[in-house]
Amino acid sequence: MNDLFHLEWREAEGLKAHLDTESAATLADLRISSGRSAIDGICLSRNERRTEDGRIEVQDDVFVSVYPLATWFAWNYYRLSYESTPSENVHWDCAHNIANVGDGYVWPPIRIYSDGARIVLRPWTAEVESRDPIRYTANVPLILPLQDFQKQVWDFLRQVDARLAGKELHDTEYQRIYRELLDEQKDGETLLWRSIEARMGFSPDEATEKSRGIFLQICSLVDKDSQQEIAGGGQDAWYFLDHLRNHLHDFGVVRCPRDAYRPEHITIDNNQPAWVLAVRQAQALRSVIGKPNGRLSNEDLAQIYGISVRSISGLEASKKEPITLFHPETEKVLIGKNHETGRRFAVARLIADDMLRTPETGWGVVTDSRTYRQKFQRAFAAELLFPRAELAQRITDPDDLYDLAEAFGVSEMVVRHTLENHLTNTLSDPLDRWDEWEGTPANQSP
């Protein structure tokens, strides 16, 4: 793609007395957009500005010092690259919302977050009071593959560093953070740890000593993809690794992979929403097993995944855990749900994960996070257990949701989301809406 951050450098002229040296050196007209111009792409910095004579002027650039923005991007690089969307959280918003860069400027209100494969830059409109009235008006999100976003950020950071150096500035706070970030790119273990910290919601070196200790213990034992997915489940899921072997021994159920359905391994397509790929794969699996519609029984799921029926029905149930996983070394499965509906959904997600994980060595990991892999699992499980085609044939009244959920052995949440997407024929969230599908039956607690 073309440059995401467009900079037209400006000289400070009469502003030097009001600015520190770094800010004066990095004044620029900044445009954030996806095309060569704001016309042929999505412009995230478009704004309305009131002139001295009261007119409203529409512009795509904003006049700022980009020094604080570059510092913000360098410090939050890992969290922007790897941390997904949590519930409303001020700490999260400070690290993901450009509006919080501050330093006396009115910045575009753009939230940036990741699912580990793709990045969304999501603007939101708001009235902002300031001495220099400006209102940002962009409302269309921009979605980029993770690698493209990172390249754009690095290009921006290099431009700012070069501008400072050209002004004979070589040891600013930004440049110190930038150089440290550059050095970390050369160390694979450090990069892995930084991404794990970020997925757990921490800025560099903010994670607990216990978290770091677990990483050092399991670094050579657990494949990198699985570490990333477990970290995405939060600190509780990460701490769970400290007691994994005991839990496997006490609560794990035996899986026989040789007796299970062996799906073809698929590669994540960063340009495609997780749900599109997942729905297609679920429909293909139903076709292969000869059950294009109707309820899949516990026996069906057990046969597909190679575990006992009792482990799904709950007769061999383990206690509720922060994650569900398949451990290939011991060929044991921990199902982190303690009611039958949740266990059916968890097993369906493990079936999906077999398509994405590293064959033979990769762990099967199911968490509550919103990574691409987890969203693929949820969308796959929803379509496998409750095909969307069934909805149009069966539902006549919204009050039928509970009966449909009972008939197919899924939660009402699955049926409700399927209904919403059927009615709108779209998914409104830029990083997919398949984040809350592991509901519990109406008469049970999670």
Give the integer Cα–Cα distance in Å for 190 and 414.
39
Report, in this order, helix, strand and coil percent for the chain, each rounded to 5: 45, 15, 40
CB 432 within 8 A of CB 375: yes
State the pLDDT at residue 305: 92
Taking CA atoms, 127 is separated from 30, 93, 95, 266, 371, in Å, by 20, 18, 21, 45, 32
In this structure, the chain runs to a length of: 446
CB 371 within 8 A of CB 266: no
**DSSP annotation string for 348-389:** HHHHHHHHHSPTTTSPEEE-S---HHHHHHHHHHHHHHS-HH
Write down the residue that tokens 């999670």 correspond to.
Answer: 446
Give the integer Cα–Cα distance in Å for 172 and 164.
9
**Each residue's pLDDT tens digit in the chain (446 positions)?**
578 999 999 987 766 656 788 999 999 999 999 876 556 678 999 988 877 777 888 999 999 999 999 999 999 999 999 998 765 677 888 999 999 998 888 899 999 999 888 999 999 875 555 555 688 888 889 999 999 999 999 999 999 999 999 999 999 999 999 999 999 999 999 999 999 999 988 999 998 899 888 888 777 778 888 888 888 888 888 887 877 777 777 788 888 877 778 878 888 777 788 888 899 999 999 999 999 888 999 999 999 999 999 888 876 555 677 788 888 888 888 888 878 889 999 999 999 999 988 776 688 889 888 889 999 999 999 999 988 877 766 766 666 778 888 888 888 888 887 777 665 554 444 444 433 333 333 333 32
Structure tokens at 414: 């699955």
Report pTM.
0.84
Strand order in the sheet with 5-9: 5-9, 27-32, 62-65
Residue whose C-alpha is closest to residue 35's, from 130, 152, 184: 152
Strands (E) in 24-101, as ranges, are 27-32, 47-50, 56-59, 62-65
State the pLDDT at residue 438: 38
CB 153 within 8 A of CB 73: yes
State the pLDDT at residue 240: 79
Measure CA 392 to chain center.
31
